[in-house]
Amino acid sequence: MRKWIKTTAAAAGIAVLASGLAVTGASADVIDDIRKRGKLVVGVKADYAPYGFLDSSGKIIGLEPDLAQDVADTLGVELELVPVVSSNRMQFLEQGKIDLMIATMTDRNDRREVVQIVDPNYYSSGTNILTKGKFAQWEDLKGAPVCGIQGAFYNRKTSEEYGATIVAFKGTAEALTALQQNRCVAFVYDDSFIVSRLGDEDWKGWSMPLPTIDDAPWGLAVKKGEDAFAALMAGMIVNWHTSGRILDLETKYGLEQTPFAKKMHAQFRGVNPSIER
């Protein structure tokens, strides 16, 4: 009798699961596709050291490619990295050119409508400045020409609240060149990017002196509707935080351990961060 109940329950469970899969559509499970082709395709940055950059042989390496390798290892398949940029990363995912995107993307609601951003967040960054001048607080930038990137959301705050004159360029290369030519006294950008520059020989004597503002979490993403893959990735992220993998990778790539990564590590190990503080 008991056995019969068990069997029935299991059958019902499978039926529910199957109907769930049917609703999400025929191409719902990308994990099967990945296993079948024996290769996981991940979109990462290739111009954002040390999160994703090219080594001297032209191979993409960095913190995010290492995370991508973890996923491939877990699935037991080969890894293929595809370089993406901010303006095409979500499209690549939508078009199925990549299975997974780990590309320094800030988690925003309007982006959650386009791709499936996996919870919890794996990383976080805020806004700071790169300068060789003596600035202690944001207000010190009043009236100063500050280089930036056209369209960045913190340009307005930097000029409206702190009184800086934003000199915005198309890309980081132009902005950094203008900064080195003293056309502006500082460069306002993501602190994660600035931290990576500070380790570079070319930027000796430069610093990131201000308190970071607008700290915002990063999200990795899968194609919309890939619930099974999203669940697997959620598990991967929890695992990275619990094991301290992110902190280890920060150390490996010469980054300071970020408050966000420390906090997540403490939280997932079961330590209440409010007590630890």
Partner 1 sequence: MEAVYDWFRVFYQDTGINLTFIYDSYDRNRLIDGFFMTIWLSVICLVLSMVIGVVGAWAQGARSIILRRVVAGYIEFFRNTPPLVQLYFFYFAIGSILPTTENRFGFEEPILGNFAWAVISLSFFAGAFNVEIFRSGVEAVPESTKEAAEALGYTRLQTYLYIVLPLAFRVCLPALNNNLVNLVKTTTLAYAIAVPEMLYMANQIWSDSVNVPEMMTFLLIAYVFLVGVLVWFMNRWERSMRLPGFG
Interacting residue ranges for partner 1, rule: CB under 8 A: 110, 133, 144, 147, 150-153, 155-156, 160, 166-170, 174, 177-178, 181-183, 185
Shortest distance, position 86 Cβ to partner 1, whole Å:
12
Residues 17, 14: Cα–Cα separation, whole Å = 5
- What one-letter code names the amino acid at 234? A
Residues 179, 186: Cα–Cα separation, whole Å = 7
Q: For residues 152 and 238, which CB has a smaller minimum distance to partner 1 in the complex?
A: 152
Residues 226, 45: Cα–Cα separation, whole Å = 22
Task: Tell me which residue has tokens 């994990």.
Answer: 31
Q: For residues 119 and 214, which CB has a smaller minimum distance to partner 1 in the complex?
A: 214
Shortest distance, position 197 Cβ to partner 1, whole Å:
18
Shortest distance, position 138 Cβ to partner 1, whole Å:
15
Q: For residues 138 and 169, which CB has a smaller minimum distance to partner 1 in the complex?
A: 169
Q: Determine if the peptide bond prior to 83 is cis (ω within 30°).
A: no
Residues 87, 221: Cα–Cα separation, whole Å = 15
The pairing of strands 100-101 and 221-222 is antiparallel
Shortest distance, position 104 Cβ to partner 1, whole Å:
18
Q: For residues 150 and 251, which CB has a smaller minimum distance to partner 1 in the complex?
A: 150
Q: For residues 91 and 251, which CB has a smaller minimum distance to partner 1 in the complex?
A: 91
Shortest distance, position 177 Cβ to partner 1, whole Å:
6
Q: For residues 159 and 267, which CB has a smaller minimum distance to partner 1 in the complex?
A: 159
CA atoms within 13 A on the CB side of 67: 37
Kind plus residue range of the DSSP H or E element containing 265: helix 259-268
> Dihedral of the CA atoms 55, 152, 210, 145 (nearest 10)?
110
Shortest distance, position 141 Cβ to partner 1, whole Å:
10
